[in-house]
Amino acid sequence: MELTSKQRAHLRGLAHHVDPTVQIGDRGVSSAVVAKVVAELESHELIKVKLGDTDVKAKDVAPILAEQSGAAVVQVIGKVVVLYKRRAKKPSIELPG
């Protein structure tokens, strides 16, 4: 899923007030983490993933999570990755054209 810069800016604004719903620990990206990301995306559409005490970097984890969950990377800042995936039924976020 590709986002335009205008859409990405809109989603960054919405994500500002969102708390991280998924945390990645020292085990890195596991199947359980990916399953949690997929479930949270279906529930919220826009989520933050926080990296805890781990050696992996957010910029390395972001494309992996996006690919395995079918989401788009909105932003990577520090140890936080913001992901977006439009909900199939009743989407709550309208993206600008």
Provide the residue range defining the domain that includes 76: 5-84
Return the CATH number at 13.
3.30.110.60
Q: How far is the C-alpha of 44 from the C-alpha of 92, rounded, in Å? A: 8
pTM over the 0.85 mark: yes
Instruction: Tell me the β-bridge partners of 22.
Output: 49
Q: Give the chain's domain count.
A: 1
Q: How far is the C-alpha of 34 from the C-alpha of 67, rounded, in Å? A: 10
Per-residue pLDDT of the chain (97 residues; tens, 9 = 90+): 789 999 999 999 999 999 999 999 988 899 999 999 999 999 999 999 999 988 889 999 999 999 999 999 999 999 999 999 999 889 999 999 7
In a domain, 40, yes or no: yes
